[in-house]
Amino acid sequence: MQDGVTKIIINSQVSAEGQSEDLKALAKLMNNEPVKLNKYFDYAQRRIKEINEDPEMREKIMLYETRMLEREQASGKAGYEQGKADAAKIILENQLNNGKTLEQATEFVRNLKLISDKELEKIIDLYK
């Protein structure tokens, strides 16, 4: 990449035929399939389960992903703003899926200050 970052893209949805056992296991792990290869994959599966069961940790990950999305979309103002709105909606949905009321979820998203209150109200209207 131009910024010196190396990105590796793995399409876990296609056949891993002919690939190493580690890469095949990684593709399974990415598809949320059980893997029994070695202690590293055992550890990864255990940590994924712990993170998925911890709503606070999931929120931290969502916020991190939101910030990464913002950075990637910073090249265009409209795309940047849409990215923040999309992220706010995902975080709101995640809060609702974790048992929060609409009011609690709204307050959580509002406190993140990703988008204006006016934009947040537009999203909230979708859930009323």
Look at residue 34 in the predicted model and tell me its pLDDT.
92
**pLDDT tens across 44-79, in order?**
999 988 888 898 888 888 888 887 777 776 656 666
Sorted by where each begins, the domain ranges of the chain are: 21-52, 55-125
Report field, pTM of the whole predicted structure over 0.85: no
Q: What is the Cα–Cα distance from 112 to 63, expressed in whole angstroms?
A: 9
Positions of the chain with pLDDT lower than 50, given as ranges: none
Q: Which residues contact 16 (CB under 8 A, 6 or more apart)?
A: 23, 24, 27
Residue 41 CA: distances (Å) to CA of 23, 25, 48, 111: 11, 8, 10, 36
Q: Which residues contact 96 (CB under 8 A, 6 or more apart)?
A: 102, 105, 127
Look at residue 77 in the predicted model and tell me its pLDDT.
62
